[in-house]
């Protein structure tokens, strides 16, 4: 039976990226060595790193004055590194979910944190829109996609202070005006590659903003000076990111991927909105294209477990909602084929016909 992988992360990757990475593990480009055993100082890995950076810049149209680095520690380490490097006195944060809350928690170790708006009052089912960022904030931090609750900021906001964005789960899903951001970061394990590598796109002018001494490994300047090679980088994870970037380019770039994502999301949201038994959990103007959350209507709540089991018989993997929301979550990242979304919709229709 074909499996339909809706896992929220680590998640589905382009099949060609998986296959080419597997080949490289056995023999990288015919050099007689595995990707897993080459030196990160070798010309072979330098070529991988250079192409990965070049494709990142090309696909996101990254202008001059920005650096791309690859680090370990996941986005969670960035929650600490960002205030360590940039928070002098006060930072502003938008609270839109669990990951934003974790970032806020870390920032409070380094200075005052101004939460300019929050959607916690309604269990993060919407993105706040009316808020003011203090002009004296050292930076404003946003989490663009809420993987747990299914909301997303799908535009590039204007900001009078440096704008920093966690784009772990929606990077490369739509064109971005990079010039509006001073730093973009994210774990790779949703839209880019396997777990183990974190990307950081950083405006060079943002550096050297604080007076405190920063440990060597936690300083962005360290990793820019020695381009992602100050210590041994996650070689395999970076290679798979390269294969994913090649795949995106082959499709026609990020704009083509966005068109696919919109089509997939519309297919599933339409099924939810027209259902007799399912209902969405997120305000329509805040809905994510990456993580689509829904539950059973109140009178059908007792059938949620039954649908979960039924979906498994149809090959659905990873659609159980986060414990804080319940219900169901279908993660429709870039690599998710529309055929899998259609299969989920068909399963929902079949279940509804038998139970409504």
pLDDT at 209 over 90: no
Q: How far apart are CA 48 and CA 56, in angstroms?
A: 12
What does each C-alpha distance from 245 to 2, 35, 171, 334 come to in angstroms?
25, 18, 11, 11
pLDDT at 138 over 90: yes
pLDDT at 356 over 90: no
Burial class (CB in 10 A: 0-12, 13-18, 19+), 165: buried
At 151, give phi and psi (nearest 5°).
-110, 160
Burial class (CB in 10 A: 0-12, 13-18, 19+), 171: buried
Long-range contacts (CB closer than 8 Å, 24 or more residues apart) made by 261-266? 261/173, 261/174, 261/289, 261/290, 261/332, 261/334, 262/289, 263/338, 264/289, 264/332, 264/336, 264/338, 264/341, 265/289, 265/292, 265/332
User: Is the previous residue joined to 158 through a cis bond, with omega within 30 degrees of 0?
Assistant: no
Mean pLDDT of 43-50: 98
User: If you average pLDDT over every residue of the chain, what do you get?
Assistant: 97
Q: Which domains does the chain have, with CATH numbers?
A: 15-251 (3.40.640.10), 253-355 (3.90.1150.10)
Q: Which pLDDT score, from 0 to 100, does residue 67 have?
A: 98
Flag the least confident range among 146-155, 179-188, 206-215. Answer: 206-215
Q: Which pLDDT score, from 0 to 100, does residue 325 have?
A: 86
Q: Which pLDDT score, from 0 to 100, does residue 211 have?
A: 86
Flag the least confident range among 83-97, 200-214, 297-311. Answer: 200-214
Query: Residue 164's beta-bridge partner residues?
Result: 141, 183
Chain segment 81-113, per-residue pLDDT in tens: 999 999 999 999 999 999 999 999 999 999 999
Backbone CA torsion sign across 247, 229, 46, 183: positive
Higher pLDDT, 54 or 322: 54
Chain segment 254-276, per-residue pLDDT in tens: 999 999 999 999 999 999 999 99
Whether the pTM exceeds 0.75: the reply is yes
Mean pLDDT of 134-150: 98
Catalytic residues: 99, 166, 190
pLDDT at 136 over 90: yes
């Amino acid at each position: 039976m074909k499996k339909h992988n809706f896992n929220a992360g680590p998640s589905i990757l382009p099949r060609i990226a998986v296959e080419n990475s597997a080949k490289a593990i056995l023999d990288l480009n015919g050099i007689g060595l595995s990707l897993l055993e080459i030196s990160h100082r070798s010309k072979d890995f330098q070529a991988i790193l250079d192409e990965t950076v070049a494709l990142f810049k090309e696909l996101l149209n990254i202008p001059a004055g920005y650096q791309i680095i690859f680090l370990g520690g996941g986005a969670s380490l960035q929650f600490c590194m960002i205030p360590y490097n940039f928070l002098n006195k006060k930072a502003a944060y938008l609270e839109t979910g669990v990951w934003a809350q974790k970032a806020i928690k870390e920032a409070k170790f380094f200075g005052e944190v101004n939460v300019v708006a929050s959607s916690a009052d309604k269990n993060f089912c919407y993105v706040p829109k009316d808020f003011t960022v203090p002009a004296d904030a050292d930076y404003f931090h946003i989490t663009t996609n809420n993987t747990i609750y299914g909301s997303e900021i799908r535009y590039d906001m204007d900001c009078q202070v440096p704008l920093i964005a966690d784009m772990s789960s929606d990077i490369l899903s739509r064109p971005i005006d990079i010039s509006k951001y001073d730093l973009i970061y994210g774990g790779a394990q949703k839209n880019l590659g396997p777990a183990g590598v974190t990307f950081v796109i950083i405006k060079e002018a943002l550096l050297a903003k604080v007076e405190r001494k920063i440990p060597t490994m936690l300083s962005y300047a360290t990793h820019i000076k020695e381009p992602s090679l100050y210590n041994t980088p996650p070689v395999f994870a970076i290679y798979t990111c390269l294969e994913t970037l090649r795949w995106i380019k082959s499709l026609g770039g990020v704009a083509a991927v966005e068109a696919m994502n919109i089509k997939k999301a519309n297919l599933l949201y339409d099924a939810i909105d027209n259902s007799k038994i399912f209902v969405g959990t997120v305000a329509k103007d805040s809905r994510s294209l990456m993580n689509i959350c829904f539950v059973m209507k109140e009178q059908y709540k007792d059938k949620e477990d039954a649908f979960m089991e039924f979906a498994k018989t149809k090959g659905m993997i990873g659609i159980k909602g986060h414990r804080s929301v319940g219900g169901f979550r279908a993660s429709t990242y870039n690599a998710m084929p529309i055929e899998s979304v259609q299969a989920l919709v068909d399963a929902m229709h079949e279940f509804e016909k038998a139970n409504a």
